[in-house]
Amino acid sequence: MSTIYILWLRQLKRYFRSRARIIGSLGQPLLFLLALGYGFGPIYQRASGGNYIEFLAPGIIAMSIIFTALFSGIEIIWDRQFGFLKETLVAPVSRLQIMIGRTLGGATVATLQGVIVFFISLIAGFRPTNFFMILPALIFMFLISLLFTALGTAIASVLEDMQGFQLIMNFIVMPLFFLSGALFPIQGLSGTIKTISTIDPLSYGVDGLRHTLISVGYFGIGTDFLVLGLITVVLLAIGTYLFSKIQI
Amino acid sequence: MIDVKNLSKKFKDLIAVDNISFSVNRGEIFGFLGPNGAGKTTTIKMLTTLLKPTSGEMKLGDYDPIKEPSQARCSFGIVFQDPSLDDELTARENMEFHGVLYGVPKQIRRERIEQLLKFVELWDRKDDLVKHFSGGMKRRLEIARGLLHHPKILFLDEPTLGLDPQTRNHIWNYIKKLNKEEQITIFFTTHYMEEADRVADRIAIIDKGKIVAMGNSQELKSQTKTESLEDAFLSLTGHAIRDEEATNIERLRMGRRMRRH
């Protein structure tokens, strides 16, 4: 228990100490909110989609979460290069505990980041329909965080250095985000893009956030929760397995 | 305490450790010497569960590092050759993290952290982030951290690399005291021959993955008909300069340097 706690605490300390990283990572969601939200707003309204900022904000919250979460997972590569990973791997604690501590830490940090972006979106004009639903929205944020931290850990366990980072960003993170319905409604889609969006796990995260924050959704809140939960469990299992196989 | 039988490790086209066997007795200080790239660190990595051997058997105390890694990890402590601190944490936090991971009870942990940080003269800097430390300070912190819990076996991979003679002396005295008072078995590597000569009960010399000689300092000297351990070492391993494969961190530094040009 104390092992999990100290690893969780380490992730949090590192997060709060890198102010540049916190501020830096807020730039992108802000830009997306303003440029896309206000840029496409009028067209979206004319197409009788309603208020685009309302629609977009949950997607942008999800975006900031997946970037932070994935990066937290990927940090294992840094730990490997700077040697700190060895220190944890030779300690008399199970790798499962290390994995759990790290993942919870990374997920907490990502959720915090999501909450910050939530407040920023309030400033940008976003108004949730029901403030009581913020608690279930937090649960969804945490689930998305867990899922992507576990994914990051799994990826980082098999990579030796940061060379593959661009590859991951362009072939995993970007597609997951852009095809998730974070920016457009899945309702009106048809054909391949609809299939892809339905397979994308982030779609269920974004959908869950929409259900809770603006009472609009596509899959149904129960489905969102189940799919997200299930994939998280599977990825945690894969991540733990790959992490336990690390050799230095 | 440590038993190694026919241990080998092959990387793609390189045999890093080639069928070595040795054993270290309980409470012994055992020096493991060899030129760069001889297989010292690879051997330590295998013993400390970080690397799986290609073949052979090992035993740490009662446990097999391959089959019972968790139990084996409970019986040793290690100071690594290359850095393994978290730069974004303070000196004290690094110690604290280690203490919790190794299950040192809170009261003892606090006491030892203070005692050890004072010992390596970092107590004034305890709340500074490690990234602001010099190389020597990091090295000292790393050693202090390795001594925080008192394991049955302590692995020291070139622990005193880059430290001045005063600090080296200071640290070895402490390690020898630990060895005497708590019967901790010490397994260390070093390039400072006079250091090995002074502290090691027994020495093994490894070259190109093979153990070429083993015995106490006196035996090695008379075996090679030399006056000093350094001469014995050179006579056993030759004068050619060895290359070592770049570690990750070196590759990273090289990459940065290249990008800057």
C-alpha span between A80 and B226 (Å, rounded)? 42
At A72, the amino acid letter reads: S
Is A3 in Cβ contact with B101 (below 8 Å)?
yes
Of the candidates A6, A89, A94, the beta carbon closest to that of B50 is on A89
- Which distant-in-sequence residues (6+ apart) come within 8 Å of B147 by Cβ? B77, B116, B154, B174, B175, B178
User: Which residues are registered as beta bridge partners of B189?
Assistant: B157
The reply to whether A90 touches chain B by the CB within 8 Å rule is yes
Predicted confidence at residue A204, as pLDDT, reads 96
pLDDT given for residue B251 in this prediction: 54
A:91-110 residues touching chain B, CB 8 A cutoff: 91-94
Half-sphere exposure in the Cβ direction for B185 (13 Å, CA): 17
- ∠ CA B42-A159-A177, rounded to 5°: 165
User: Cα–Cα distance between B24 and B203 in angstroms, integer?
Assistant: 10
**How far is it, in rounded angstroms, from Cα B97 to Cα B186?**
23
CATH, domain range B2-75+151-260: 3.40.50.300
Beta-bridge partners for B76: B153
In this predicted structure, what is the pLDDT of residue A131? 79
pLDDT in tens, chain B (261 residues): 899 999 999 998 889 999 999 999 999 999 999 998 899 999 999 999 999 999 999 999 899 999 988 889 988 999 998 889 999 999 999 999 999 999 999 999 999 999 999 999 999 999 999 999 998 899 999 999 999 998 899 999 999 888 889 889 989 998 999 899 999 999 999 999 999 999 999 999 999 999 999 999 999 999 989 989 999 999 898 877 776 665 555 555 555 444 444
Q: What is the pLDDT of residue A187?
A: 86
Q: Which residue of A has its CA nearest to B101?
A: A3
By C-alpha distance, the chain A residue nearest B247 is A81
Q: Does A17 touch chain B (CB under 8 A)?
A: yes
Identify whether the C-beta of residue A148 lies closer than 8 Å to the C-beta of residue A73: yes
Cβ neighbourhood burial of B206 (10 Å; 0-12, 13-18, 19+): buried
Which residue in chain A has the smallest CA separation from B53? A247
**How many whole angstroms separate alpha carbon A204 and alpha carbon A181?**
9
In angstroms, the separation between the Cα of residue A91 and the nearest Cα of chain B is: 6
What is the distance in angstroms between the Cα of B33 and the nearest Cα belonging to chain A?
Answer: 22
Angle at B90 between CA B85 and CA B91, to 5 degrees: 65
pLDDT in tens, chain A (248 residues): 889 999 999 999 999 998 888 888 888 899 999 999 999 999 998 988 788 999 999 999 999 999 999 988 888 988 988 889 999 999 998 888 999 999 999 999 999 999 999 999 998 889 998 878 889 999 999 999 999 999 999 999 888 877 887 888 888 889 999 999 899 998 888 889 999 999 999 999 999 999 999 988 899 999 999 999 999 999 999 999 999 888 88
- State residue B253's pLDDT score: 53
**What is the rounded CA–CA span in Å between residue B238 and residue B236?**
6
Single-letter code of the amino acid located at B137: M
The answer to whether A238 and A244 are in contact (CB under 8 A) is: no
Integer-rounded Cα radius of gyration of chain B = 19
* Buried residues in A63-73 as b, exposed as e (16+ CB within 10 A): bbbbbbbbbbb
Q: Which of residues 180-239 of A touch B (CB under 8 A)?
A: none
ipTM > 0.90 (yes/no) = no
**B89 reaches A (C-beta below 8 A):** yes
CA–CA dist B58, B173 (Å, integer) = 29
Q: How far is CA B61 from CA B149, B150, B188, in A?
A: 17, 15, 17
Over the stretch A64-95, which tens digit does the pLDDT of each residue have?
999 999 988 888 988 988 889 999 999 998 88
- Measured between CA atoms, the residue of chain A closest to residue B248 is A81
Parse chain B into domains and list their residue ranges.
2-75+151-260
- What pLDDT is stored for residue A68 in this prediction? 92
Residue type, A187: Q
Tokens standing for B218?
């006196």
